[in-house]
Structure 1
Amino acid sequence: MGELTDKIKGNVNEAIGKAKQAVAGDPSDPARTHEDDKLEAEGAGQELKGKGQQVLGKVKGALGDDV
């Protein structure tokens, strides 16, 4: 059960992270604000967290949820 939960949470966090980065916009845009920079960094962190959760889910699947 933990394997599937981790994979789902990972997919959700990765998608939300990518969306936040897209909302922040192009880094070279002169109208970009400090808040946009913060949102992009937050999104990158959330995307990375999601990738980690997906890896954890794969490891749990390989080890039979004994992790």
Structure 2
Amino acid sequence: MTEPDSKPTADHEHQTEPGFDDQNVGLLRELFELIVHNKKWWLAPIILALLVIGLLAVLGSSALAPFIYPLF
């Protein structure tokens, strides 16, 4: 019998668990996959509302602020 190599190869050094890929998936893509895979559709309106509020906060501190204030 031959003993398997005790040192990992370069391909397996960065993998921590099965199914791990080296692609960097964005946060929004990961949230979308969570909603679809786990069927948590009730999270979609909450995430959408948080994104809209965040966008308004960012635009409120920019030169577009005078155009946003009439919305409130």
Shorter-chain TM-score tier: 0.3 to 0.5
Q: TM-score, normalised by structure 1?
A: 0.40
Q: TM-score, normalised by structure 2?
A: 0.38
Write 1 or 2 for the structure with the bigger share of helix. Answer: 1
Question: Which of the two has higher C-alpha Rg?
Answer: 2
